[in-house]
Amino acid sequence: MKKEENNSVTDATWLNLPSLNLTVKSLLTSYLLVIGLGAVLATVQILMTHGMADGKVGLSVDDIVYSYHGDPAHSKIEIKLNGSMKDKASAADQMKIIKWVRNGAPEEQWNEQIKDVFYQNCISCHSTIPGLPDFTQFEEVKRVAKSDKGASAASLARVSHIHIFAISFIFFFNGIIFSLTTGLKQSFKIFIVSAPFFFISIDVFSWWLTKIDAGFAWLTIISGVGYSLCSAVVWIVSLYQMWILPRFAAPYKVNTWK
């Protein structure tokens, strides 16, 4: 009798998602739901910042290039006047702005001629809408008049290490949960728990590569799609095995960690 009890503990045939008790299932489910919400918010944030970088709605390779590599041949103001700000001023006024910017945006000419052009065409938004550069301030015009070098090494270094540390924790907990799934091929499970760590490293590495060479932007997209798909599999399969599977099948007797 004693021996049998010991076996049931060491065999731990309850160690699989469908068989966990309600407390553990509630904990894992709450975690997955909040992480899912975080993923939705992250997507919104990416679409609103990087997604608009090329002036068009939606995320594209161009957005990644503008965000990390910039467009060293042109200033942001010139790019925008050829893009989403095209209809904001007459061709003649746009020409005045672009000429002045290409001249190095000298402050003497700002006061004499250029300020008025901005006041007539731009500041109705660019001094009232929060988050937009305020074009009543010469310094803020000057900032977007410089050639666009993309993300600075300092900001990339900061975002890189935060990203790697924080997201690794998420993948680690996701992986622990997914390791408890039953009935899946071991090779598939190994891929789903380890690939995200590989993808996140490639993702961060690709930002630096893209800063140096715009041709690497597609790596950012591929790695992002890679770990998003893995996370979606973890999310759907884990919730399914905890809440739906036990309703239709006899209790599972398998130690998924053995």
Is 85 near ligand HEC (CB under 6 A)?
yes
Closest contact distance (angstroms) between CB of 112 and ligand HEC is 18
Give the count of residues interacting with ligand HEC (CB under 6 A): 19
Is 124 near ligand HEC (CB under 6 A)?
yes
Give the x-and-dash track for 144-183 against ligand HEC (CB under 6 A). x---------------------------------------
What three-state secondary structure class fits 43? helix
Reference 197, options 160, 221, 153, 164; nearest CA is 164
Beta carbon nearer to ligand HEC, 81 or 239:
81
Part in contact with ligand HEC (CB under 6 A); list of ranges 14-22, 40-48, 121-129, 203-211: 121-129
Q: What is the 3-state secondary structure (H, E, C) of 102-168?
A: HCCCCHHHHHHHHHHHHHHHCCCCCCCCCCCCCCCCHHHHHHHHCEECCCCHHHHHHHHHHHHHHHH
- Count CB neighbours of 145 within 10 A: 22
Q: Which residue from 27, 57, 95, 125 is in contact with ligand HEC, where contact means CB under 6 A?
A: 125
Closest contact distance (angstroms) between CB of 91 and ligand HEC is 11
Residue entry with tokens 């003649």: 92
Q: Are 175 and 97 in contact (CB under 8 A)?
A: no
Q: Which residue from 39, 46, 52, 61 is in contact with ligand HEC, where contact means CB under 6 A?
A: 52
Q: Are 231 and 7 in contact (CB under 8 A)?
A: no
Residues that bind ligand HEC (CB under 6 A): 52, 55, 76-77, 80-81, 84-85, 88-89, 97, 121-122, 124-126, 132-133, 144
